[in-house]
Chains A and B, each alone.
Chain A
Amino acid sequence: MIRELVIISGKGGTGKTSVAASLAYLAKDKVIADCDVDAADMHLVLQPETIETHEFGGGLKASIQKDLCTSCGECLDYCRFDAISDDFIVDPIACEGCGVCAHFCPTMAIEMKPHVSGKWFVSDTRHGPFVHARLGIAEGNSGKLVTLIKKKAREIAAEKIFGLVIVDGSPGTGCPVIATMSGAAVALIVTEPTVSGIHDLKRVYELACHFNVKTAVCVNKADINPDVAAEISAFCAGKGIPVICSIPYDMDVTRAQIAGTSVVEYSDGPAATEIRKLWDEVQHALS
């Protein structure tokens, strides 16, 4: 059976990718997936050799054919996204691709054209197969792209008879995070002992509950504020969420990133030591 470990945080910048990259090194027989598709960073650590590149067709965009348009203005009335200007030009960033304008245009002057909204890749890395993507600038449909990447990662795992997919998620609680969470065995929530860290931990935990995903918490930069760290422990104890790791603030995490490697490969310092223990706990949570 293939099990998916997803790493999420709610708040950005708590250390999801650093933790995920370390687990990618420590775990055997797994596929790695970067689902933070609009600000992907995992490739900077894994330094992939790309084997396959695919276009991601995220949807359709309206296009008005000038020669057929009579400037009647029907489309302006129908468009709910203010995507058509008064001189009948479609703003591709605002267009949601709903096609309502095209359907109701009396002269059939509007065409819905397929639109490439990103690329996705299958790569080889020193830690195994890696599926990742690059969403085009200012594009939507990140949820669909996440679903596609996870599907591909599972397929590769099935082919190679690997039992694990490690998924680096995106911050927030919206569409890409929901897509990331779907079907996960365990969501590892990386948080930090700050007022925003705990606030966002609570929200993303609630999201995991909403989708019936088992959670575990990792507190990063744990020594920045012992009081808030204790508050996180108390919250987790109250909800029955295991706090499986406390990583101290350690400049080696940044140094490893600059060196283009994971902290467990880079150092035997305090952060690396705790992340090694984290991997034992994660295996336990996955079993």
Chain B
Amino acid sequence: MNIAISSGKGGTGKTTIAMSLASCYARNGMDVALLDCDVEEPNVNLFLKAEIEKTETISVLVPHVDETRCNGCGECERICAFSAIVIVKGKPLLFTDMCHSCGGCYHVCPERAIEEIEKPIGVIETGSRDGIVYSGGKLTIGEAMSPPLIRKVKRCHPDSENRILDSPPGTSCPAVEAMKDSDFVVLVTEPTPFGLNDLTLAAGAVRALGIPFGVVINRADIGDKSILDEYQKLGYNLIASIPHSREIAEAYSRGDCVSLILKHHRAEIEKIASYAERYNRSLTRI
């Protein structure tokens, strides 16, 4: 099954929960893949520390104009919804950073002057450690669009029985791309006003995608009770909670909090796994 770990707000503990859950599966002898879909800020392997065995360059298609064929008719400019191709002094000028790879210009050009070429946008690194197979995307700095890379990361390890996807924060296209088609979404939050506000936004996004979800409250004792009451009122399924601890925060800062979490809070992590299992669409793959 595919479990996406997500949140509206950043820094609530997505990566920690994703890592802990993956370790939990691995320790139980289960087949598990951990996919880092937060390609703008990929952090999973800072904690997993898998040796990278393979690095694959990921590209998108962008137009390339054969100027000997182009007659400057402007059809390409007219079809492009993203202002990625404009005619200046009778010649097309390309802004490939704006290109969404829709192929419109390529198909529309009456002179067949446009071909599509590959433009690298990032890499996917693959490795494994402690029974967890890992693939993570890394978007090249300066690239604006992460969804095409996220889509590629999601295709890694299709045969793993359990695939855990660490999503980017927010509720817009990168987060949606990561969560889309999963069997279950775990929303990680913290009991603060920012955490609460962003959780409601994230829950809205998951609902729009029609995916079942549950909420994990991290650092459950840092806020005040009124906020925990608010969580109850929302009626979401609260499936686990992990208290704040300076010890865990310090271990996190060194990149080795997972063993500590499994030592003290393994039951909570197991709860997430067993809750998610209810929504296992068994052989469905994304």
Q: Assess the B253–A13 pair: CB atoms within 8 A.
A: no
Q: List the count of A-B residue pairs having beta carbons below 8 Å apart.
A: 188
The interface-forming segment of A121-129, A154-162, A192-200, A237-245 is A192-200
B136 interfacial by beta-carbon distance below 8 Å = no
Number of A residues, CB within 8 Å of B = 62
| A12-B9, A13-B10, A39-B8 known; A173-B139 Cβ under 8 A | yes
A178 interfacial by beta-carbon distance below 8 Å = yes
Give residues 124-139 of B contacting A (CB, 8 Å).
139
| A93-B208, A100-B103, A103-B79 known; A196-B46 Cβ under 8 A | yes
| A44-B193, A60-B81, A137-B201 known; A171-B107 Cβ under 8 A | no
Q: Which residues of A contact B171 (CB under 8 A)?
A: 38-39, 135, 137-138
Number of B residues, CB within 8 Å of A = 62
Q: Which residues of B contact A98 (CB under 8 A)?
A: 81-82, 100, 102, 104
Query: Can you list, as one digit per residue, whether each of B20-53 has a CB less than 8 Å from chain A (1) or not (0)?
Result: 0000000000000000001011010011000000
With both chains docked as a complex, state the minimum distance between the C-beta of B86 and any C-beta of chain A, in angstroms.
16
A206 interfacial by beta-carbon distance below 8 Å = yes
With both chains docked as a complex, state the minimum distance between the C-beta of B157 and any C-beta of chain A, in angstroms.
21
A17 interfacial by beta-carbon distance below 8 Å = yes
Give Cα distance in the complex from A207 to B255, angstroms: 24
Q: Assess the B81–A171 pair: CB atoms within 8 A.
A: no
Q: Which residues of A contact B146 (CB under 8 A)?
A: 172, 174-175
| A38-B201, A39-B8 known; A173-B141 Cβ under 8 A | yes
Q: Assess the B208–A137 pair: CB atoms within 8 A.
A: yes
B interface residues, Cβ below 8 angstroms from A? 8-12, 15, 38, 40-41, 43, 46-47, 79, 81-82, 100-104, 107-108, 139, 141-146, 168-176, 180, 192-194, 197-198, 201-202, 204-205, 207-209, 222-224, 226-227, 249-250, 252-255
Provide 14 A-B residue pairs closer than 8 Å at the C-beta atoms, listed in order of the A residue.
Answer: A13-B12, A41-B9, A78-B107, A103-B104, A104-B107, A137-B207, A171-B11, A172-B146, A174-B40, A178-B144, A195-B253, A196-B43, A225-B250, A258-B224
A interface residues, Cβ below 8 angstroms from B? 9-14, 17, 37-39, 41, 44, 59-60, 78, 80-81, 93, 96-100, 103-104, 135, 137-140, 142-143, 170-178, 192-197, 199-200, 203, 206-207, 210, 224-225, 227-228, 251, 254, 257-258, 260
